[in-house]
Amino acid sequence: MFQLSKERRRLLKELEARTGVYFADEKLLNMALTHPTYVFEHRDVPHQHNQRLEFLGDAVLGMVVAEYLYKTHPKQPEGYLTKLRASLVCETALATYAKSHKIGGALLLGKGEEMSGGRERTSILADAYEAFVGAIYLDSGLVKAREFVIRDIKRFMSGEELWRHRDYKTLLQELVQKHYEANVTYSILQATGPDHDKRFVAGVFFKGRMLADGKGKSKKEAEQEAARVAFEQFSRKFMS
């Protein structure tokens, strides 16, 4: 039977203490923090990676945040709530939550990902946070998952973090619509590397012209980077 090492168990216990969330099933917690690159490089060990938990956690996050905003902003219209939710569950915000709990230090990564700074990579931390929430839901139920998520978003909303880490795709769309009443679109220009270690290049387009491109370890990350560059360009244009 597969057993976690003493060192691995120590790291997980420290994370539980930091988050205040304690797991009955430590293997579920371990799975939430196991990146696909680690499983790819350790096929002789029966680890499971966190992508399925990430899928579940994404749904739990969306529902919890939507419910929270619905109840705490009774006079705000749907459009406002949608944008605010996007800011709270975007990749950058999720990575910020993960960093606050030092989740990166407990991740199991492949050697290449480890050497390239994967523990601090926004996309990996965001995915791990979603997986962690999914694991809480399976291990302790919705009430505990809701408590954990709401505690994080309250802290995030209480300061300037929300505005410094808003979704650049949303910011860019708002800016373009304000001045042109038009939409921007995105396209993946390039995808390279093996399935477990992809690199993407995305372009953001306006009226058939590419405004900027961006690179990332995921399609979302590449699109966000392209949106960030374009947003900064548009901001300088309208502020000058």
Q: What is the CATH number of domain 168-239?
A: 3.30.160.20
User: Is residue 127 flagged as an active site residue?
Assistant: no
Encode pLDDT of 102-121 as tens digits: 999 999 988 888 888 888 88
pTM check: above 0.75:
no
pLDDT band at 240 (very low <50, low <70, confident <90, very high): very low
pLDDT for the residue numbered 235: 67
Q: Given the residues 91, 130, 139, 223, select the one marked as catalytic.
A: 130
Structural element, H or E, at residue 151: helix 142-158
**Strand pairing partners for 34?**
108
DSSP characters for 113-140? HHHTTGGG-HHHHHHHHHHHHHHHHHHH
What is the rounded distance in angstroms from the CA atom of residue 175 to the CA atom of residue 167? Answer: 13
Cβ atoms 31, 134 nearer than 8 A = no
pLDDT at position 41 is: 82
**Residue 4's pLDDT band (cuts 50, 70, 90):** confident
Question: What was the pLDDT predicted at 73?
Answer: 87
**Highest-pLDDT range among 23-27, 110-114, 152-156, 177-181:** 23-27
Average pLDDT of the chain is 87
User: Which of 21-30, 84-93, 133-142 is the least confident region?
Assistant: 84-93
Q: Is 167 labeled as catalytic in the residue annotation? A: no
In the CATH hierarchy, which top-level class contains the domain 6-164?
A: mainly alpha
Whole-number pLDDT of residue 1: 45
- Looking at residue 16, what is its pLDDT? 95
- Measured distance CA(181)–CA(195) in Å, rounded: 38
- Please tell me which residue, 168 or 164, carries the higher pLDDT value: 168
DSSP for 68-83, please give it: HHHHH-TTS-HHHHHH
Specify whether the CB–CB gap between 217 and 124 falls below 8 A.
yes
207: exposed, middle or buried (Cβ count in 10 Å: 0-12, 13-18, 19+): exposed
Q: Which residues contact 193 (CB under 8 A, 6 or more apart)?
A: 199
51-75 pLDDT, tens digit each = 999 999 999 999 999 999 999 888 8
Domain chopping of the chain, boundaries = 6-164, 168-239
